Each structure stands twice: as structure tokens, then as C-alpha cells.
A and B are shown apart, each in its own frame.
Chain A
Amino acid sequence: MKSTSTWKKSSQSIILLLVAVMLLLAGCSQPSNPANTGTNSNSEGTGGGNAQSSDAVPGVGGSAVGFIFVGTKDDYGYNQAAYLGSVAVEEAYPDLKVLRAENVPESAEAERVMEQMIQEGAKIIFPTSYGHLEPALNVAKRHPDVLFYHQGGLKTAENLGTYFGTIWEPVYLAGVAAGKMSQSGKLGFIVSVPIPQVLLNINAFTLGARSVNPEATTNVVFTGSWCDPGQQANAANSLIDSGVDLLSLHQDCMKTVVETAERSGVMTVGYHADASELAPNGWVTGSEWNWGELFVDMVKVGTAGEFKGSQYDGKYRGTLADDVVKLSPFGANVPSDVVSYVEQQKAALLSGELNPFAGPIKDQSGNVKIEEGQELTVEELESTDYLVEGVIGTIPQ
């Protein structure tokens, strides 16, 4: 016979184990800390057996180009956009083999994948997720002859440049369309975690909507993860219940949100890729990456050995004018006067006549954050840490 206390103990240990596992799994959905790759970059030199001299020109003479993605290539989102860029490279350079790896975690595993690609002849590698930066920097140190183009990074190296786009420009225009389309003036915005890029997009969207409807408000909901369909459905349903008639988002995948909105008769403004086919009725427009031409040009510069001193040597930011970011096609139910108004705003933005972040811009509590006449640089915008007037929601302190 077992005493009750033994069973109590074993029951307690099971509970402890469960709590540990629960925290582990809940944590899995967070973007991992890029500083935490756990690999020692001092092992430099041991890997580079065929001793590249320091004057090797990075990017030249490879037989392949490598792309690594943090998710799957057809997620109607971030990874799909990057994947389409890799397809453009494949078509433009039939002589180069395109190596792709999907679902590469933002950890030391990414280093292993990149090393493998280098062994297979890649001299140019595109690590396309924010958290791939630290692994890429480590590999770049070991292989000075290989060129790295990292998507969205804020650090660079001799043979590593980063690229990104001023996506807030089309987000602002999509916000204008949203402000025109919404009947109630109540907009919903589903986001992951409060990083500057996310806050900037919420602000741009809200400023766009309020430029045509000063009464419009944006309800922001943080889900804590980049792609958890269950949480996305919760968030979408909760916003729809509270009376928003248009949903937008900044998540890595958007299929669940767009479909949930469509089933509930609510409009959507997309992000990352064109998902209009998921919402034939409610699709308004969206913001997209258009990496194809940029990637092709970056490979051209790299293989020609002209990386040093080119615009990609550092932090390159493509704009709406460069066609690196663009507005998605309009939905079938968007009236032509709305389309032409947004196109007009787009032309004004391209000509420099319109600046979405022209002061005065106030934050949620009414403090002026951008003074009248003040022009912010891209870098200043990319360090946004507040939400503008008209946004309902809180940034964690």
C-alpha cells in the first residue's frame, strides 16, 4: 500500500514538470533573442581551412546563392515575400544554383545551415529573418570570401550588409484606404510584440486613416507571438465582437486573420504579401515587400565584386519610389473614388509633397513627439517607441 503522502509528492512533481513544459512551449512562440546564439565566434580560423586571405573579394566566384527562411515559403506572409525574391534570383541567373532552407530557427542551427550552403558552393547568402543576424555575423567572420545580405538587421560587417524597406509608406496609404472604407471608424490591428517596426506600422496606419477620417481610432491587440493561428483567431474574434469593421495586422502569417474576417463580413488590410484571394469580398488593400528586383541587383553587385562601396555595403533601405515596398492590389469591392484618392496620395508621397510623419504629431497622451517642420530620418523612425493619438492600446513598459 502506498501512503497518501507519496502520491501527493509524485503528483506535485508531475505538476512541476508540466509547468516547466508549459512555459517552454509558450516561450517557443516568442522570437528568440538574437544575442543568444550560444556559439563562440572565437573559433574563427578553425573552420576556414582553405585559408582565404583577407583581401578576398566577398561574393565572387560562387556556384550557388543561399536563402534561409525562418518559416515556410507559402505562409501568405514574411517568408513568402522573401521566397518570391529567391525565385526572381533563380530566373535571372540560370547558372547559379539557388539553395533554400525553410523553417531555420534563429539559433546556432542557422550557422550550421549557412556553413552547409557555403560547402555547396554558395558565395552569397541571404539570411532573411531578423534573428538570423547574429548567426550570420559569426559565419561571416569565419568566411571573409562569402557575402551576406541580411534582411532587417541593424548591425553590419566587412562582408555583411543589411537591407530592408520603408514599409510604413504603403502602410500609411493602406491606412488612408481603411479610413475611407470603414463605416464605423473603428479599426482593429493585430500585432505580435512591441518592437519599433511594429509600433511604426501601427502609427503609420492610424495617421493614414485619420488623414481622411479624424474621428477614426485603431484598437491594437498584442498576441505575443508572430504566428499562432489560435491566438490570431481569438484576437480577430475579440476585435470583431467589440465592433471594428476592418482588421489589419503585423504578423508573420495572416491566413487565419484574413479568413476569419471574411467569414464575419469584416474588411481586411493585409501585410507582407497579397492575400486578396482569401477574402474576395472584404479585401481592401495591403502593404507588400517586392524583393525580386532588389535581390537580383544585389546578386549582380555581389558576383561582380562591387559590394564594397556600393549602396548595399551598410544598411540599405529601399523605398516606395524604389519599388522595394508597394501597395497590394485593391479588392473588388473598393469603389473607384477611393482607389483614385489613394493613388493620388501615393503620387504625392512619391513626389515628396506628402510626408506621413510631418509634425506636429502627438502621442496617445497628447505630448508632441514630432514638432512642426521637423523631418525624421529613417533611422529615427525605426526607433519609434510610442503610439500616436487615435490608437487604443498600451505598450508594455
Chain B
Amino acid sequence: MIADILTGAIRSGTSVMLASQGELVSERAGVINLGTEGSMLCGALGGFAVTVWSGNPWLGTVAGGLCGLLISLIHAFLVISCGANQLATGLTIMFFGMGVTAFFGKGFVSQQIVGFNPVPIPLLSDIPYLGKILFNHDPLTYLSMLLVPMLWYLIFRTRLGIILRAAGEREEVLFASGINPRLVRYLAVLAGGFLAGIGGAQLSIAYTHSWVENMVAGRGVVAVALVIFASWKPVQAMLGAYLFGAAQALQLTVQQQGLAISPYFLFMVPYVLTLVALLIVERRKQSQTPEALGKVLAGSG
């Protein structure tokens, strides 16, 4: 039963995890993107549509990422170039994404695709317990697991990571070293949109093999919240996303045990548990917030 819950955690947490890694990159450069929800929806629809047309889920994944990137470009332009308020713009982008995808997605609701299926990894998937939990997933899930240590390395161990973090902390440093912080922020927001788009595509072409309007249903917003509570750290954001997934799997398992707990209460559990757990983590480590987060860039570029 515990193995089932942990397997479920990864299955249903992966889309949120991908989006939260993307949002993390964006916020490390100082831009909050509430439009992540919109990016995920665009990625889910774009990925699904291209998979329908091409029959190739890999092409669909790339297309999903690009769709997520495109909508985050609007956010980047408004926030970085026009100096618009980040939260207001993000919310607008989120609702824009809902509307656009509901409109263009109408014809795709009944389409069938050959999407990604779980591919057990030989030998590793035979390990008792662990094999089923970790090594029996779709290819995108494996890639997302590899992404996290790579991002950690990139952010904390490379020059590129220092540039990224400097854009979110002290833009003066970048000015002084001849790097345009606006460019760095643009790239970070686009990378974030791309990952969120892939998160959406994972939901539509790997997990559910379906498109339904507004199918992301708040997962993008959860991803943004996770980043803040995870103190802008990739591994913690991943654990947070899996915790969210585990809570969803847990509530389904609890229901099946026939325990007298109201499902309405259980629907709330994933959100509450994730918030509480990450709040505890947050309290221990004081103020990890990138200093320039949410600030409109002052420099003349």
C-alpha cells in the first residue's frame, strides 16, 4: 500500500514538478510568473495537438514546451520591457491561457493519441519495492528526475548559475561585468515557460492521453507556491511536488479503505499537507528570497 502511494506520488506529481522547476529558474532571475498555469495549459494542448497530427509524442513534447515558452514570452515582454506589475500580469496570462486553450482545444476533446506509456527499466524495475516506485514510469518522468540534479548543478555550481542568481539578487553586479540583466531575465522566463509547457504536455500526452479544457486545474498555481515554500531550491521543490502527488494518492487510498473520513476533507489534504510541510521547512531557513524578486528592473540596460 505504501509502495502504491509512493508510485502514485511520482505519477501525479511529475507535471507539477516540471512546472515548479521552470518557475524556480524564472524566480531565481527575479521574475515571478503566475502565468505558469497558462503555460502548462498551452503546453498540454500544444503537445496533444502535435501528437495527434504527427503521431509522435516526442515531437508533441517539444511543441508543448514551445507553446509554454511562447505564452511566457508575453509575460516577459510586459514585465521586463514594459515594467508591468508581475503579479497582475501573471494572473492575466493565466486567464488568457485558459481562454485561448479552451477555444482552440474544442476539436481535440475526443481525439485519441498514441502517447507515452510506462517503460519499466530492465533490471532496476525488478528491485522489490523501489523498482515499482522509481523505475516503472513514462520517459518524460525519467527525464524530469534527471533534470533536478542538473538544475541544481547549473544554479549553484556554474558561472551561468551565478549570472542567473545575480539577475535576481544584485543586477548591479551584472551591469558591472557587462552582462545585460534584462536578457538574463528574458531567457530565464522563457526557460521557465518551456519547462511548464513540458509539464503540461506530460499531463496530456503521457499521464492522461487526453485533452479537456482547463485540465491543468490549478496545478500550475501549486507549482508557483511550491517554489516559494521550497526556498528556491530544486531538490526541495521536487520533494514538495512529490509530496503533493503523494497526498493525492493517499486520499484515494484512504477512500478505498472505507474509513469514515469525508472525501471533502480528503480533497483538501494535498493542498494543506503540502503547504504545512513546506511551511515547516521555510521557517527553519530564514529569508532565501532572491532580493530583487518581483521588483521592476530599474537599470537602463
Q: Which residues of A does B touch, CB under 8 Å?
A: 2, 4, 7-8, 10-11, 14-15, 17-19, 21-22, 25-26, 28-29, 72, 74-76, 80, 102-103, 194, 219-222, 224-225, 227-235, 237-239, 241-242, 253, 255-256, 259-260, 263, 278, 392-394, 396-397
Q: Are A229 and B222 in contact (CB under 8 A)?
A: no
A263-B117 in contact (CB<8A): yes
A229, A234, A394: the one within 8 Å of B249 (CB): A234
The one of B7, B117, B213, B253 in contact with A72, judged by C-beta atoms closer than 8 angstroms, is B213
* Given A230-B12, A232-B208, A241-B4: A25 in contact with B221 (beta carbons within 8 A): yes
Cβ contact within 8 Å between B249 and A238 = yes
Of chain A, the residue at the smallest CB distance from B211 is A229
Q: Which residue from chain B places its CB closest to the CB of A74 in the assembled complex?
A: B110
Q: A11-B228, A75-B109, A259-B210 are in contact. Are A4 and B4 (CB under 8 A)?
A: no
Interface size range on B against A: 35 or more
Q: Which residue of B lies closest to A79 (CB)?
A: B109
Q: Assess the B256–A393 pair: CB atoms within 8 A.
A: yes
The CA of A394 and the CA of B260, in the complex, are separated in Å by 6
* A26 in contact with B218 (CB, 8 Å): yes
Residues in B whose Cβ lies below 8 Å from that of A231: 217, 248
Is B177 engaged at the interface, CB distance under 8 Å to the other chain?
A: no
Beyond A234-B252, A235-B252, 9 extra complex contacts between A and B, CB < 8 Å: A7-B291, A22-B222, A25-B37, A25-B217, A72-B109, A74-B110, A221-B252, A242-B4, A396-B263
8 Å CB contact of A256 from B209, B216, B262, B263: B209
Q: How far is the CB of B48 from chain A (nearest CB, A)?
A: 11
Counting CB contacts under 8 A, is B52 at the interface? no
- Cβ contacts under 8 Å, A253 to chain B: 109, 212
Chain A residues whose C-beta falls within 8 Å of the C-beta of B265 in the assembled complex: 396
List B residues 247-288 near A (Cβ within 8 Å). 248-249, 252-253, 255-267, 271, 275, 286-287
> What CA separation (Å) do A340 and B243 show in the bound complex?
49
B219 contacts the other chain (CB 8 A):
yes
List 17 interface pairs A-B (beta carbons < 8 Å), by A numbering.
A2-B291, A8-B287, A10-B293, A14-B228, A15-B228, A18-B225, A72-B109, A75-B109, A103-B102, A230-B216, A233-B12, A234-B11, A238-B249, A241-B7, A392-B256, A394-B262, A396-B265
- Chain B residues contacting A220 (CB-CB under 8 Å) are 255
* Interface majority SS (helix, strand, loop, mixed), chain B: helix
Whether a CB of chain A sits under 8 angstroms from the CB of B203 is yes
Q: How far is the CA of A228 from the CA of B263 in the complex (A)?
A: 16
Known A10-B294, A229-B215, A230-B215; contact A224-B4, beta-carbon cutoff 8 A? no
Partner of B217, one of A29, A392, A396: A29
Q: How far is the CA of A232 from the CA of B106 in the complex (A)?
A: 20
Q: Is B15 an interface residue (CB 8 A)?
A: yes
Question: Closest residue of chain A to B208, judged by CB?
Answer: A229
Q: Report if B187 contacts A (CB, 8 A).
A: no
B256 touches A239 (CB 8 A): yes
Q: Which of A10, A25, A397 contacts B218 (CB 8 A)?
A: A25
Asked if A393 and B208 make an inter-chain contact with CB atoms under 8 angstroms apart, the answer reads no
Task: Give chain A nearest CB distance to B279 CB in angstroms.
Answer: 9
Given A22-B221, A229-B208, residue A76 in contact with residue B215 (CB < 8 A): no
Specify which of B15, B263, B265 lies most central, judged by the most chain A CB atoms within 10 Å of its CB: B263
- Contact check, B256 vs A238: say whether CB atoms are below 8 A apart: yes
Residue of A nearest to B109 (CB): A72
B253: nearest chain-A partner, CB-CB? A238
Instruction: Give Cα A229–Cα B156 distance, bound, in whole angstroms.
Output: 37
Q: Determine which of B12, B252, B271 lies in contact with A26 in the assembled complex, contact meaning CB atoms within 8 Å.
A: B271
Give 4 nearest A-B pairs by CB, closest first: A25-B218, A396-B262, A74-B110, A229-B208
B105 CB to nearest A CB, Å: 9
B31 within 8 A of A: no
With an 8 A cutoff between CB atoms, is B214 at the interface? yes
Query: Could you tell me the distance between the alpha carbons of A11 and B282 in the complex, rounded to whole angstroms?
Result: 12
